[in-house]
Amino acid sequence: MNDWQPIPRSLRELLYVFQNGISPDGSTQALVQQRLQSFNEIHDYNSYLVYILTVMQNEDVYTRVIAGLTLKNNIRSHFNAIPLYVLEHVKMCCTISLQSPEPDEGVRKAIGSVITALVTRGQVHNWPEILEILINQLDSPNYIAVQMAWDCLSKICEDAAIDLDQEINGVRPLSYMIPKFIKFFYHYDTKLRVQAIGATGQFVLLRSQSLMTHIEEYLTALFANAEDKSPEIRVEVCRSLVMVLEARPDKLEPSLDSVVKYMISSTANSNELVALEACDFWLQFTNVEIFKKRLLPYLPDLVPILLSKMVYSESDLMMLDGDEDDFNVADNECDIAPRSYRHKTIVQTKKKEDDNDEDDDDHGDGNQYLDDETDKHQDTDEEEEDEGDFDDDEFYSEWTLRKCSAATLDRLAVTYKADLVNVLLPVVNRNLANADWKERECGILALGAVAEGGIETIAPHLPGLIPFLIQCLNDPKPLVRSITCWAIGRFSEWCVNQCYTLTGRKDFFEPVLFSLLNRLLDRNKRVQEAACSAFATLEEQAMQELEPYLEYILNVLTTAFRLYQHKNLLVLYDALGTLAESVGTALNQPKCLLVMMPPLIEKWNGLSDQSTDLFPLLECLSSITTALRDGFAPFAEPVFSRCVKLVASHLHETYMASQDPSRFDPPDVEFMVVALDLLSGMVQGLGHLIDPLVASSDPSLLSLLTICIHDPVIEVLQSTYALIGDLAIACFDRIKDGLPLFMPELISQLSPDIEYVSVYNNATWAAGEIAMRWDGIDPFVEPLLERLIPLLSDPQAPDSLQENVIITIGRLGLARPKALSEQPTHFVRPWLRKSINLPENDEKDTAFQGICQLIKVSPQHLIDELPMLLVTISQWENPSPELFGLFGEVIAGYKNMLTPEQWKENWECVGKSYRNKLTERYGSIDQ
């Protein structure tokens, strides 16, 4: 297409559209965007765009830049639909422009963006020559040409670092790129040095072979820039050192003391960006085990600097609002972050809430200072440490220096414990005694930040600090009151532990409890939010200790329902739900119901089926129904009916969207999930009392579930199987007719190849509940066992899944021991070994009853594992009478079946302490 030329009329039309795009009128802008989208149907549309961008030098710069940005977006969004000859033409035009760079920086950057899009979407190996062109251009005597090359290379390295780190046609591009980049570390021009350091840094965490080959030169060049006066250079140096510390800490070891001193100095830098990058160094430092002790001598220098960076600056305060009584000011809906929903998962054989998409649900979005993992509702199999624990909405959730410094203090306390706290306390005490409220606020923040890691060292000081913090809850400054709420929340466990003495309850627990409740009714929304979050944390720790105060607590919470604006109302739902989870059936008292339920039902009735505020309310109600059990019965019918209709409406809207996507948008799946989960909570709470509601549901709940089990959305399947299992327990006859349809789908989910463990966790659990109750289970027993048994020994299977598998296999043995006896015996050892760690409860009890029934049918199944079986039996503390009897029968059966020599051989393989327990409980069985 070297001879391609635009059709003048088409070119004029396109230019006209771009020129109209300048109009501030919204409707005109919409028409322009619609028209531009329609151009994508023209095969050589992108040739016109590159022509305007690179050839029409007399055209208005704005128009050329818009053409370039449109071209970049087209390449990113429609790359595979653009004809190959057009892409080649675009590449050629951009290459020519590199050789004759534009004087206008905006146009140059637009061309660089197009080149980057071509490289990233088309992959590096399909256009490797552009890299050589750009690298060669770095040697140009023309500064603009060099700058343009660096603009492109910086973007390409940022967007395609992994693709660059490979061999292409026998050559590794980075092998000639990295040395050239390092040379620019010494360039006289600050901007080019910044780009060179930044581009090279993209390959540090990748541990790129090409960079590691030159790592000594890289570090030497990096250190040469360490004392540069330019903040931009210092930012890049600090950022690079943090990455080297993570990727190759050994390379910093020879000069570690100098690096530590440099990063302390940079943390103290007056430029916030420099200080922020340096502060990240300490977070990473604590992860390097071999270096940990090396920081101890520097803590007295580092800690005061961190505290100084945690003090509100004047610019911080200007960006914050709400430093007044604003409780009656309506929220700005744009400031309310979308709320994630915690989906139900069966973990360790009981229902828990789990956020499998890593959508953490803390006590509201409202902890504007710190958001510690230990303060969250989450039950994931593996909790990951996160530098972002300090969740701060002060700066629109940016990772700020204040937040980073506080997080660093937290991490240092976890790592160095008493060493850190002993350095910190004298500095904090000065802050707390300062007349400047900002200094006091910073001291309180620091105390809370080290609460987890330094609690043993701080604990002796808490009898004096807690009354001081309670006093600070009445500070005239809302920001002091709110940070104090958070800090007290961090010391919740200590406060609750004081309940075990009369003076401790009176002097510490009750004052903290009542003071936090008072702050829930604060006239400042920020304080309300922090108090709500702290109180929810206290609830989780206090559990039944809250029972004597329930009526007072509920009166405060329901008063808050009338006081709170939209955003804090969502946090309040969480606090009430947490209360229900903490005290359980203690809420099922007439005086509690009379206070709690009317405002909840009022909110329920006031929300439309399309309001996303249903999410936290449904979640709250789910916790309450589980806690109230039959106490929720008077309120159940309208709630149950609405949930069923929400599910039905979602399924209908999904069907309509699939049939005619041009007319109907797919519905928000969260409405379906939260409705299913509330139904599940009601079934758990009401038990058999749910039966008439299920029987009269309109449309039929059973018919809806037969559709839900085919849903492609993982969260829907997760909640569907949880509900099926709950219904099997509460009103089995209502779902019995649907089981022939449910079971094949349920069995298909029991695969380690499925990405989301939450679904087959719930499916496994539901299968066990069904097996114990259904006389039609026979055709499905063998397919179930074929899926379940391999999961016992699968190293990739999560612990939570294997625990559910243990329970369900045992229950299949209880229901159909003969079918289980026909399975190979290799599953017995992992079943016994893993079952030891399960908590004793009804589910484990029934599972072991099933294994005992298996032994009675086929005792040879466990003959080789008899010593392990005896050890396992001895470790049961409180078996049910049925299981205790079965254990006695099993032991007696094996003793009678084996010869005395065989029995003695097996018996002596059991440890002495276990033998003593067995003899004590089941009589003289050693002979």
pLDDT of residue 237: 97
Binned at pLDDT 50, 70 and 90, residue 316 comes out as confident
* Residue pair 111/148 in contact by the 8 Å Cβ criterion: yes
**What percent of the chain has a predicted confidence (pLDDT) above 90?**
69
* Residue pair 115/68 in contact by the 8 Å Cβ criterion: no
pLDDT of residue 28: 53
Residue 813: phi and psi, rounded to 5, are -65, -35
CA-based nearest residue to 63, from 79, 80, 73, 51: 51
- Whether the predicted pLDDT of 747 surpasses 50: yes
pLDDT of residue 701: 96
Tell me the pLDDT tens digit for each residue of 153-206. Answer: 999 999 999 999 988 888 899 999 999 999 999 999 999 999 999 999 999 999
Q: Is 396 left (phi over 0), alpha (psi -120 to 50) or beta?
A: left
Give the integer Cα–Cα distance in Å for 787 and 748. Answer: 9
Question: What DSSP letter does each residue of 855-893 carry, written as one string?
Answer: HHH-GGGGGGGHHHHHHHHHT-SS--HHHHHHHHHHHHH
**Can you name the CATH fold of 700-856?**
Leucine-rich Repeat Variant (1.25.10)
User: Mean pLDDT throughout 670-690?
Assistant: 93
CA-based nearest residue to 156, from 94, 199, 208, 102: 199
pLDDT of residue 25: 52
Amino acid at 499: C
Give the integer Cα–Cα distance in Å for 48 and 42. Answer: 10
Binned at pLDDT 50, 70 and 90, residue 39 comes out as confident
More confident site: 399 or 501: 501
Binned at pLDDT 50, 70 and 90, residue 31 comes out as low
Give the integer Cα–Cα distance in Å for 520 and 534. Answer: 10
* Residue pair 808/763 in contact by the 8 Å Cβ criterion: no
* Residue pair 376/362 in contact by the 8 Å Cβ criterion: yes
CA-based nearest residue to 130, from 177, 89, 74, 91: 91
551 sits in which H/E element:
helix 550-563
3-state SS class at 376? strand
**Chain Cα centroid distance, residue 756:** 15
Q: What angle do CA 267, 271, 273 make, to 5 degrees?
A: 75
pLDDT of residue 326: 82
Tell me the pLDDT tens digit for each residue of 588-597. Answer: 999 999 999 9
**What percent of the chain has a predicted confidence (pLDDT) above 70?**
89
User: Mean pLDDT throughout 434-450?
Assistant: 95
* Residue pair 504/335 in contact by the 8 Å Cβ criterion: no
pLDDT of residue 320: 78
- Whether the predicted pLDDT of 602 surpasses 70: yes
pLDDT of residue 506: 95
End-to-end alpha carbon distance in the chain: 96
Q: Which residue has the tokens 């190996």?
A: 125
Q: Which residues, 6+ apart, have CB-to-CB distance to 828 below 8 Å? A: 861, 862, 864, 865
pLDDT of residue 753: 62
Give the integer Cα–Cα distance in Å for 261 and 275. Answer: 13
* β-sheet bridge partners, residue 168: 171
Tell me the pLDDT tens digit for each residue of 906-920. Answer: 998 988 899 899 988
* Residue pair 760/751 in contact by the 8 Å Cβ criterion: yes
Give the integer Cα–Cα distance in Å for 862 and 869. Answer: 8
Give the integer Cα–Cα distance in Å for 151 and 266. Answer: 27
The residue extents of the domains of the chain are: 700-856, 858-927
Give the integer Cα–Cα distance in Å for 647 and 127. Answer: 51
User: Mean pLDDT throughout 579-584?
Assistant: 95
Tell me the pLDDT tens digit for each residue of 263-305. Answer: 999 999 999 999 999 999 999 999 999 999 999 999 999 999 9
3-state SS class at 346? strand
More confident site: 671 or 356: 671
pLDDT of residue 447: 96
CA-based nearest residue to 236, from 178, 265, 278, 207: 278
Tell me the pLDDT tens digit for each residue of 387-407. Answer: 334 443 443 357 789 999 999
H-state helical runs in 417-549: 418-432, 437-449, 455-458, 462-472, 478-490, 492-497, 502-504, 510-520, 525-542
Cis-peptide, bond into residue 699, ω within 30° of zero:
yes
CA-based nearest residue to 657, from 187, 531, 211, 649: 649
* Residue pair 421/458 in contact by the 8 Å Cβ criterion: yes
pLDDT of residue 755: 67
Q: Which residue has the tokens 């709950």?
A: 726
Give the integer Cα–Cα distance in Å for 823 and 593. Answer: 52
Tell me the pLDDT tens digit for each residue of 607-645. Answer: 898 888 888 898 899 899 989 999 999 999 999 999 999
pLDDT of residue 113: 93
Residue 458: Cβ within 10 Å count: 21
pLDDT of residue 922: 85
Q: Which residue has the tokens 């989960």?
A: 677
Residue 726: Cβ within 10 Å count: 25
* β-sheet bridge partners, residue 346: 351
Its sign, for the CA torsion 315, 317, 321, 324, is negative
User: Mean pLDDT throughout 137-149?
Assistant: 93
Rounded to the nearest integer, the mean pLDDT of the chain is 88
Give the integer Cα–Cα distance in Å for 579 and 859. Answer: 48
Give the integer Cα–Cα distance in Å for 729 and 770. Answer: 8
Residue 271: Cβ within 10 Å count: 14
Tell me the pLDDT tens digit for each residue of 202-244. Answer: 999 999 999 999 999 999 999 999 999 999 999 999 999 999 9
* Residue pair 118/87 in contact by the 8 Å Cβ criterion: yes
User: Mean pLDDT throughout 854-877?
Assistant: 91
User: Mean pLDDT throughout 497-503?
Assistant: 91
* Residue pair 754/797 in contact by the 8 Å Cβ criterion: no
Tell me the pLDDT tens digit for each residue of 319-372. Answer: 776 677 787 787 776 666 655 445 444 444 434 334 333 333 344 333 333 433
Q: Is 515 exposed, middle or buried (0-12, 13-18, 19+ CB in 10 A)?
A: buried
User: Mean pLDDT throughout 811-830?
Assistant: 89
